[in-house]
């Protein structure tokens, strides 16, 4: 989709290239695709319209017109503007002394409040706090029990009072207030520095329950109020976020179920309408799956570009940096061997399930899907490469050029693959090597991009590393140095 967006921009501008002028009107026209992309991602209509207008103004100001690659510059402006809108980033949990700092969670039914309470407790614990949970959801059957289980799992104390649970069909209005009050006292008594209140799910239009929330708010005056919102929410995200914000003056947003394939427009909508920072994203069922929010990844996701920054960060954490440096040196000297090739592959594997990793790279989610469709999976494909590698002897690994037909047959037998697969594997390595030589010192994205080409056998992609690459520079990452050299070689 990142690619498609660039393509769409290109096609709009290409038609005009003969005329040599790109007007504001053309920019506007090109924004139509962005508008559709955002609406498909469930971004609120008004937000979309404002956003597009802003981008047009920016684009005109930045003289896209004079740019040599207007399409790519447009993508950058759109991306940057989205990131900008989702900021400023503030994932800090503010605490007060003396404690306890009271955090109240609220939201619609099924948004994931209770689970998020558990996740937040675990997160705070890891940060050195002493959190405590309080079961103020007295409406939903077994909600108290659920929070109690989560408290056990996270080994965090809980305040709960089963006698206060609302009888079927009634609202436990006064009860919620008294439970919340008692919980605060208990937390103080136990010396816990943070208290997390789990409240009942409610519709923004449910006056009675909204009033209950207000009562709790006035009674215990929470220091932080977070709205928990399902990231798959559609246009209604705005209504709910607005209603909760008006009633309670929110301090932050937590978007859940971000591990689904939602494009996550609800996040942008809710952020825009409340003006409150997104604090966390829930990204899995396990209790440690709570991530601090950062807009870069989400911007590309809303546009359908894949989360390249997330990948880079994951790569940063998991890649053996020393090995990477060595590799970079080798590449510059043109000494890229089959061993390096395989170790590189292994590094990528460490990032997580291949399908997921690929999904984070622009344009590669398709490849992941294809691989899955073959029933083999990306892992399967890599596994076969590994098998071939394992069946080669040391000399062959050092000098793959020596692998002739008889050797190929022997390796294929050893690896349990077809003979031509061995040939393919070596060809892939060969291409990879010549690429590595050509672009030694190239940044990691580009290498990733190449991996894509290698794995899909898409020679076109390999032939053009550097095209469609991430434009936003981050310190420490370099743009490819010498495309000209590479072109000459080819």
Partner 1 sequence: MGFFSKSIDRLKTALKKTAEVLNTDVRTLFVPGRQIDDAFLDEIEEKFIRADMGVKNVQIIIGAIRDRWRLGKIRNADEAKDVVKEIMLRDWPAEEREIRFNPNGPTVIMVAGVNGAGKTTSIAKLANLLKNRAGKSVMVAAGDTFRAAAVEQLTIWSERLGVEIVKHKQGGDPAAVAYDACEAAKARGIDVVIVDTAGRLHTQQHLMRELQKIREVISKRIDGAPHEVILVLDATTGQNAVNQAKNFMQCVQVTGLMLAKLDGTAKGGVILSIKDELNIPVKFIGLGETPEDIETFDPQRFVDALFGDETA
CB of 117 to partner 1, least distance (A): 11
34 lies in the site for partner 1, by CB under 8 A: no
Burial status of residue 1 (CB atoms within 10 A of its CB: 0-12, 13-18, 19 or more): buried
The two beta strands, 278-282 and 252-256, are parallel
The one among 15, 23, 57, 260 contacting partner 1 by CB under 8 A: 260
Q: Does 169 bind partner 1 (CB under 8 A)?
A: yes
Piece in contact with partner 1 (CB under 8 A), picked from 178-186, 202-210, 336-344, 414-422 = 202-210
Nearest C-alpha neighbor of 71 from the set 136, 128, 26, 18: 26
**Of 1, 77, 83, 150, which lies in the binding site for partner 1, with binding defined by CB under 8 A?**
150
Structure tokens belonging to residue 277: 């920072």
Q: Tell me if 261 contacts partner 1 by CB under 8 A.
A: yes
Kindly tell me which residue out of 96, 126, 190, 205 binds partner 1, with binding defined by CB under 8 A.
205
Cβ 106 vs Cβ 113: under 8 Å: yes
Q: Give the interface segment with partner 1, choosing from 37-45, 311-319, 385-393, 446-454 (CB under 8 A).
A: 37-45
Q: Is 239 in the site for partner 1 (CB under 8 A)?
A: yes
Among 23, 50, 94, 142, binds partner 1 (CB under 8 A): 142
Choose between 228 and 382: whose C-beta lies nearer to partner 1: 228
Among 122, 172, 266, 267, binds partner 1 (CB under 8 A): 266
User: Does residue 153 interact with partner 1 by CB under 8 A?
Assistant: yes
Sites for partner 1 among residues 275-294 (CB under 8 A): 285
- 338 in Cβ contact with 346 (< 8 Å): no
Q: How far apart are CA 133 and CA 119, in angstroms?
A: 11
Assess whether the previous peptide bond of 350 is cis (omega < 30° from 0): no
Answer for which of 178, 235, 391, 434 binds partner 1 (CB under 8 A) is 235
45 binds partner 1 (CB under 8 A): yes
Q: Which long-range contacts (CB under 8 A, 24 or more apart) does 180-184 make?
A: 180/134, 180/136, 180/216, 180/219, 180/220, 181/219, 181/220, 183/132, 183/134, 183/136, 183/159, 184/100, 184/102, 184/220
Residues at the interface with partner 1 (CB under 8 A)? 36, 39-42, 44-45, 108-112, 114-115, 139-143, 145-150, 153, 168-169, 203-205, 230, 232-237, 239-240, 256-257, 259-263, 265-266, 285
């Amino acid at each position: 989709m990142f690619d498609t967006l660039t393509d769409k921009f290109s096609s709009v501008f290409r038609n005009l290239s003969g005329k040599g002028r790109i007007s504001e009107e053309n920019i506007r026209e090109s924004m139509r695709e962005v508008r559709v992309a955002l609406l498909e991602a469930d971004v609120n209509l008004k937000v979309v319209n404002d956003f597009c207008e802003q981008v047009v103004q920016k684009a005109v100001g930045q003289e896209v017109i004079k740019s040599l690659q207007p399409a790519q510059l447009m993508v950058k402006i759109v991306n940057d503007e989205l990131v900008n809108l989702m900021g400023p980033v503030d994932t800090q949990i503010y605490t007060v002394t003396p404690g306890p700092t009271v955090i109240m969670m609220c939201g619609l039914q099924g948004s994931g409040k209770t689970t998020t309470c558990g996740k937040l407790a675990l997160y705070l614990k890891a940060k050195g706090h002493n959190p405590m949970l309080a079961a103020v959801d007295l409406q939903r059957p077994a909600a108290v029990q659920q929070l109690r289980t989560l408290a056990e799992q996270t080994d965090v104390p809980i305040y709960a009072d089963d006698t206060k649970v609302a009888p079927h069909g009634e609202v436990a209005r006064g009860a919620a207030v008294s439970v919340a009050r008692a919980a605060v006292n208990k937390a103080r008594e136990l010396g816990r520095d943070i208290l997390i209140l789990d409240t009942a799910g409610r519709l923004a239009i449910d006056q009675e329950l909204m009033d209950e929330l207000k009562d709790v708010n006035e009674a215990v005056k929470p220091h932080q109020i977070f709205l928990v919102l399902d990231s798959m929410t559609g246009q209604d995200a705005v209504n709910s976020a607005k209603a909760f914000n008006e009633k309670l003056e929110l301090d932050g947003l937590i978007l859940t179920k971000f591990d689904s394939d939602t494009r996550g427009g609800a996040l942008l909508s809710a952020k825009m309408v409340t003006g409150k920072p997104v604090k966390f994203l829930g990204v899995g069922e396990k209790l440690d799956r709570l991530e601090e929010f950062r807009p870069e990844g989400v911007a590309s996701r809303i546009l359908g570009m894949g989360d390249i920054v997330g990948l880079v960060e994951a790569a940063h954490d998991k890649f053996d940096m020393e090995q990477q440096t060595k590799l970079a040196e080798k590449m510059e000297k043109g000494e890229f061997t089959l061993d390096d090739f395989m170790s590189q592959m292994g590094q990528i594997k460490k990032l997580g399930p291949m399908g997921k990793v690929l999904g984070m790279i622009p344009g590669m989610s398709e490849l992941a899907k294809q691989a899955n469709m073959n029933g083999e999976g990306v892992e399967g494909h890599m596994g076969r490469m590994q098998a071939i590698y394992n069946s080669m002897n040391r000399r062959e690994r050092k000098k793959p050029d020596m692998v002739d037909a008889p050797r190929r047959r022997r390796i294929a037998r050893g690896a349990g693959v077809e003979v031509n697969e061995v040939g393919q594997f070596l060809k892939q390595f060969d291409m990879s090597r010549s690429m590595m030589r050509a672009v030694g010192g190239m940044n990691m994205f580009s290498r990733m991009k190449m991996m894509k080409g290698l794995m899909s056998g898409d020679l076109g992609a390999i032939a053009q590393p550097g095209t469609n690459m991430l434009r936003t520079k981050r310190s420490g990452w370099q743009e490819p140095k010498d495309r000209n050299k590479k072109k000459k070689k080819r």
